Chains A and B, each alone.
Chain A
Amino acid sequence: MNRLISLAIILLIASCTPYRLIPAGKVEFADQGTVETPIDWNWRPFDIVHTWTLDGPNLQEMIFHMGVKDGKTLMEVLDVEAGFHPLLVWFGKVPDEVSFRFHKRMTEHEIVDLFTASMSKIAGSKVVSTQLAPATLGGKPGFRFEYAFTGKDQVRRKGFGVGAVFDEKLYLIHYVGTEIYYYDRNQADAERIIQSFTFKEKDKGKG
């Protein structure tokens, strides 16, 4: 319960963070990769991910997980053990659940299970995935899947994601929106953005 409230506080504080403009064109994610967007978006960092929206995160959102390392959660806020108070550990207490973590040898099925379990905690309702299939991300072999859930606001939402494991890290981009109107309105834009993703060649960037 306390963890749920902590998560809610973090999400609410994040909701007070202003968005910044992402103009149409090329967008770089530090040393991880680039995408091309055909339209302007609103961007704000949240936790260790990049989130884009046009009308608000509860209406539609693109989320970029850029290089989740082996043994890490998709977002820091989902790391139950790291968020467990040291004093409780000192008194011999342990968290009553374990974090869902990415491991570099996970299969596509396992990664999608990790995603749905993680998203369920963020959304506060059960996220179900379908249509898992091979795909590429930035030219690397990966996977594609679709997902759906009904939010606490009773609004049905659907989404899709494309991911790949490269250099032992997970790269995953997904798009979600309300089943009525907002998902459909910008799905094609999201598809183009994901198709445009390229990994940054670190050696070429030096010098």
Chain B
Amino acid sequence: MRRTAGTLIVLAAVLLGGCGAQSYRTTERLVRTDAQPCIMLMPPDIELSERTAGGTTELNAAWTKAAEAHFATALREHLTSIGADFVEYLPPDDASPDAQLLDELQSLHATVGQAILEYHFEPALRLPAKKGQFDWSLGPEVAKLAEHGKADYALFVWLRDSYASPARMALQVVAALVVGVPVSGGVQQGLCSLVDLKTGQVVWFNALLPREAGDMRTLEESRATTHLLLDRMPK
């Protein structure tokens, strides 16, 4: 299954690249109801994995845990530096229905984000019935999250990062020297949305499109990735 998933990711990158993807985009449509809207930081959905010589990716729990800590630090530093008002999401008990809701909303956020990337930021693929409007939502169920922190907006983050294994690095060298064919290494990509906690409407969205750069395993590189993800986020 993982081999299939890895193959599909590569295929998706190649084929969607053929559709004309760009580095990253930003859309702003923050509606200010208060002088200083408050942003609730949702637990980020981050996974770091190792890419094998065969192209499959294997989740690395230690890297993921480190990246979550680095991102948490970098995110708070960034928001503080731009003067944004933010609060932490206070997670409910695991037995609470709202705990499952958070997981489901995070998954939905990633799926909605992919739809935005494909059907809004790719001009040729835009959905004509939307009439050019940036109109995407996670739905009013999001309002339940507001019970876990007093805020106007929720910040959702989805981030995936992979790194070439030693065997894959060796393959990259051999392929380049012997065949002259480049073999891709690890890939970093991410999605970030600011969601209205009353309506579920996505009011700002940014995407870090697949790139062979960045390293969430170190705090310094995590700061750079976080800066890109939050670029031009309204406060």
Contact = CB atoms under 8 A, between A and B. Distances in A.
Q: How large is the interface on B (under 10, 10 to 19, 20 to 34, 35 or more residues)?
A: 35 or more
Given A20-B128, A40-B129, A59 B141 contact: no
B140 A181 contact: yes
Nearest to A152: B5
B16 A4 contact: no
Contacts of B126: 18
Contact of A59 (B11, B112, B125): B112
A9 B11 CA distance: 7
A18 B125 contact: yes
Q: Chain B interface secondary structure, helix, strand, loop or mixed?
A: helix
A1 B140 contact: no
B105 interface: yes
B174 interface: no
A53 interface: yes
- Name, among A18, A40, A151, the residue most crowded by chain B CB atoms within 10 Å (CB to CB): A18
A55 B128 contact: no
A54 B8 CA distance: 25
- Name, among B110, B124, B136, B139, the residue most crowded by chain A CB atoms within 10 Å (CB to CB): B139
Interface stretch (B60-68, B113-121, B148-156): B113-121
- Name, among B104, B125, B129, B140, the residue most crowded by chain A CB atoms within 10 Å (CB to CB): B129
Given A12-B15, A155-B107, A180-B138, 16 more contacts: A8-B11, A15-B118, A16-B15, A19-B127, A21-B129, A40-B129, A42-B127, A42-B130, A54-B129, A55-B127, A55-B130, A56-B119, A155-B104, A155-B108, A155-B111, A178-B108
